[in-house]
A and B are shown apart, each in its own frame.
Chain A
Amino acid sequence: MRSKHVERVIRALLFLLVIAFFAWAYVSGAFQFILDNPDDLIYLTQQHLKLVGLSSLFAVIVAVPLGILVTRPRFKKYDWIAINLANIGQTVPSLAILALVMTYLGIGYVTAVFALWLYSLLPILRNTIAGIENINKSIIDAGQGMGMTESQILWKLELPNALFAILAGIRTSIVINVGTAALAFLIGGGGLGDLIFTGISLYDTGIMLAGALPVTVLAITLDFVLGKLEKWIIPKGLQRNLESL
């Protein structure tokens, strides 16, 4: 009861802070650039969304099957390699990945998409493997006892039970990707990073905010939409701890 109350107060405070920030930014003329150049902003936002959309889509297409593959009984022995590779990959700074990919693919849009794809793979892969591995052994045993084939076990038991973890991984990956995609500008990939880095080099808060605000709004919106999507996709019977998120 009390914790609910505290939560409400904190929420209100945060809202006030956000509103205060916007009011301050508006008064100090930081939004002037956004108001003056709506076309630029729309164009760059579209570019940014394309970067994120393409790279995340390919990441899902590759990482989920790969995660399923390494958890099959045949490869079970080696799945720790995949997990550790994914963990190590996650510690490499995104900027370094951009730089490395650039040495082989040159600059521009394609390179940016490829690097973002590489960076988005890992959280999805990790969560897919963890989701499948952490399923209660007895459920699988029961399935085997009922005479299910391997593919039946995968489709009817493993995937539905691991779905929550897999979707959480995809959601995390996409939200991180929205922020990382701002770095694409540095290698000529365009996107909202253009405004952020221009703002930094000119020491101009207005231009910087024109880039940073849409990125933030995009990330929050996507997170919200994906959260709703999760609820809709995951079978009702398995929605155990969704409420806690």
Chain B
Amino acid sequence: MKRMVATKSLMLLLLTLMMLAVAACGQDQAGSDQQQQTEANGEKGTVTVGGKDFTEQHLLSKITSIYLKEKGYDVKEASNMGSSVVRSALENGQIDMYWEYTGTALVIYQKQAVETDPDVAYEKVKEKDKENNLAWLNKANFNNTYAILMRQDKAEELGIKSITDLANYVNANPTALKFASNAEFYARQDGIKGLEKHYGFTFPAENVVKMDSGLLYNALKEKQVDVSVGFATDGRIEGFNLVALEDDKNFFPAYNGAPVVRQEVIDKYPEIADLLNQIADRLDTETMMKLNYSVDVEHKDVAEVAREWLVSQQLIE
């Protein structure tokens, strides 16, 4: 009995230590942010940069924050929010700017029709958001749209380059390929159902495996499935030797990233528009994939990757 108590308390101690260790890791993260905070002298004014809850967004908000700090602004960071949360925060003035995607703003916030042409989509959201006193700055040249992915070797072996090729192949061999999808893409009208209709083919239901978004790439890499949906700028596409099939009949909407800033803030600090456009003009799909790759596949620190990129672009010393 005595020993039981001793062991129990030992276990408790171990658990506590583990929790402390985990907490400490979190602290480290905060610590490195703190360090950058001190570099700022904040002589020009204070701005708050927001961000959503996935790697690409962490990178974009970090790049923006570091750059503005170097240019003499005092920057507060509010990252890791869900899409609708970050948008509300901007509308309420709790944050001053963040990076949004044209397709998301068009369909989700403005309830307009889906648009596959990047320029048209951008003009539409820019125009509509003027009513909300939100300024869309330059559209960056990266498009984080849905992508249909395959393993490079498998795609080559079957001679599949575009979604049309895939549709033809599936029509000829209905049960040959397994398809992985997340819950959302499977259920949405502009998801798998729309895609099948647009390209004129159907994946048999028993050949579709549904899973969490984060596992799609691994399932494909591990040959559990042959085709998967994914996101076009994800670093794991390159990291796992996957290939995104060409959307030759333009089914997927455009999701170009662009900084969105409250008009009030632009009026107060006109320079900020120029600064953010400097960043937006230098980003494209390939760059975004590389940066995501550094974080998702090589497990580098977001702040470090962001800073290195800014230095490589000669935006900061």
Contacting pair B184 A198 (CB below 8 A):
yes
Known: A188-B224, A201-B182. Is A84-B212 also a contact (CB below 8 A)? no
Closest A residue to B223 using CB positions: A106
Q: Interface readout for B186-221 with A: 1 if CB under 8 Å, 0 if not?
A: 111000000000000000000001111001001100
Contact-residue size bin, chain A (C-beta under 8 Å from the other chain): 20 to 34
- A35 sits at the interface (CB 8 A): no
Contacting pair B212 A186 (CB below 8 A):
yes
Q: How far is the CA of A87 from the CA of B187 in the complex (A)?
A: 39
Which of B1-40 touch A at CB < 8 Å? 3-4, 7-8, 11, 15
* Residues in chain B near residue A108, CB distance under 8 A: 209, 224
Contacting pair B3 A207 (CB below 8 A):
no
- A197 sits at the interface (CB 8 A): yes
- Which residues of B does A touch, CB under 8 Å? 3-4, 7-8, 11, 15, 180, 182-184, 186-188, 209-212, 215, 218-219, 222, 224
- Which residues of A does B touch, CB under 8 Å? 80, 84, 87-88, 91, 102, 106-108, 185-188, 190, 194, 197-198, 200-202, 207
Contacting pair A106 B222 (CB below 8 A):
yes
Contacting pair B7 A84 (CB below 8 A):
yes
A38 to chain B, nearest CB (A): 16
Contacting pair B210 A80 (CB below 8 A):
no
Contacting pair B224 A106 (CB below 8 A):
yes
Contacting pair B183 A107 (CB below 8 A):
no
Task: Among A80, A91, A102, A197, point to the contact of B183 (Cβ < 8 A).
Answer: A197
Contacting pair B3 A80 (CB below 8 A):
yes
Task: Among A84, A106, A188, A202, point to the contact of B210 (Cβ < 8 A).
Answer: A188
Query: Given known contacts A186-B211, A194-B183, A198-B184, what 15 new A-B pairs fall within 8 Å (CB)?
Result: A88-B15, A91-B15, A106-B224, A107-B218, A107-B224, A108-B209, A108-B224, A185-B210, A186-B215, A188-B209, A188-B210, A197-B183, A201-B182, A202-B183, A202-B187
Contacting pair A201 B11 (CB below 8 A):
no
Contacting pair A202 B224 (CB below 8 A):
no
List the 5 closest pairs (A to B, CB-CB), nearest first. Answer: A198-B183, A201-B184, A186-B212, A188-B211, A188-B209
* Residues in chain B near residue A80, CB distance under 8 A: 3-4, 7
Task: Among A84, A107, A185, A207, point to the contact of B11 (Cβ < 8 A).
Answer: A84
Q: How far is the CA of A190 from the CA of B224 in the complex (A)?
A: 15
Contacting pair A107 B219 (CB below 8 A):
yes
